[in-house]
Amino acid sequence: MQISVYISATLRAFAGKKAKLEIEGKTVREILERLQEEYPEIREVLFDENRKLRPFVSVYVNDDRIGNGIGWDSAVSENDSILLLPSIAGGTPSESIISDERRKEVSLDDYEIERFNKHLMLREIGVKGQKRIKAAKVLIIGLGALGSPVVQYLAAAGVGTVGIADTGEVSLGDLQSQVIHGVRDVHRPKIASARDTIKAINPKIKIETISEVLDADNIADIIADYDIVADCTDNYRSRYLISDACVLSGKPLVFGAVYQFEGRVSVFDAKSGPCFRCQYPSPPPAGLVPTCAAGGVISPLAGIIGSIQANEVLKLIIGGGESLIGKLLVVDTWNNRTSILKVDKDESCPICGKTPSILEIENFDYEDFCGLKQDEDEIPVEGIDAEELVRRIEQGDPLTLVDVREPHERAIHRFPNAIVIPIGQLARRQKELDPDVDTVFICREGKRSILAINTLREAGYKGPVYNLKGGIEAAKNIIFSHEGAWL
């Protein structure tokens, strides 16, 4: 009996780049074992050294998650499907998060009645709903691909106070998907560019800008005056920091994520459902699952997912409707597949469970949290900077260069004379390396290459290995004389 196994976009590089597989088997365990036999590279991603499912990976049978009433040895039928979903109680709130007192404090003038007339005609919104929207305060963290549509639609909808937080500058490469910025904004701070665009959309709303780096010391004060937080970031440190702050502050969090052609949206509200840690107790090791920055994203996807995020924000403000609290919406735009999966509250969750161990916001050590920190008895990963590497290449030193990046990354910036070995193939292809020659590992930012080196060492490789510090990003403007061109 063949069962359909759907592979999330972040895992497809380990499964022959396929979105859907048909695999023979009678139980979940049997099907996943055969998947690993056919695609051995996926084993390292799904399971740790003790053969336990990694905590950042969720396995669903239809809409039910493994571990919540369904076990590895549960029987499956020909109509069932399995979904592998790594990180990146449905709620139907009957009341708005904006109290009647706050609603009554605001009024709509003639301009606003004309401007928002299409909202006023909707029975579910009407005058009361629009006044709640005007009274609301929403913080959008991250003004990139997701933040762009979220903040623009919330401003257009009439949200009274919009907070925008970002520390970055606009780059030319941002313009493909970050539609809040334009060509003239390149090299400008994102919050300045976004503020101008928002003001052009709706000059009557209040815009609050935050250019600080969010950390455990300031995030509670920053989110304190907002009703809802929208997480539009693209890194795990921020996701866990924001989620923990929202749980401890009692704020609903509207989460969004995009990667290549796949996006996800959920609403995490620990008061009435699960939090982010209930779904993803810990992040993947850095570099094991690439981010959208490393893996790419199709332009319209951020608009689709960001618009859904904005819609979830408005539903929380207005009240009513079916919220994504306790649910995860997964949208695969390339294969036209959409799923709504259950996310159950984890009673053992360290922050929102019955006996929480996280009682305050912490600046956790990202490398330690992701398992990258060196143990005292572990050989440290030695780095080499771009200038030194180029000097050694130029003078003809014997070196082996191993590129562990994705194919589309190499198409943008190639590294001369590097051999390509994906991380999942290193153990079985280590004989291609000369243990008497220095081997330098290359990735985009120098994180995946550390993972590659540790993976190779665990497989027994004894030769000298080095990590290119800062990855290809630190070396991309270097000229090789024998190439006669930029890297």
Is 376 exposed, middle or buried, given 0-12, 13-18 or 19+ CB atoms closer than 10 A? exposed
129-138 burial string, b = 16+ CB within 10 Å, else e? bbbbbbbbbb
The helix/strand/coil state of 258 is strand
Say whether 246 is catalytic: no
- β-strands 479-480, 20-24 pairing: unpaired
Among residues 275, 292, 352, 370, which one is catalytic? 292
Tokens of 385: 């900077």
Phi, psi of 414 (to 5 degrees): -95, 160
Say whether 292 is catalytic: yes
Instruction: Give CA–CA dist 163/206, Å, rounded.
Output: 8
Cβ contacts of residue 73 below 8 Å, gap of 6+? 27, 28, 29
Among residues 246, 349, 352, 443, which one is catalytic? 443
The helix/strand/coil state of 241 is helix
Active site residues: 292, 443
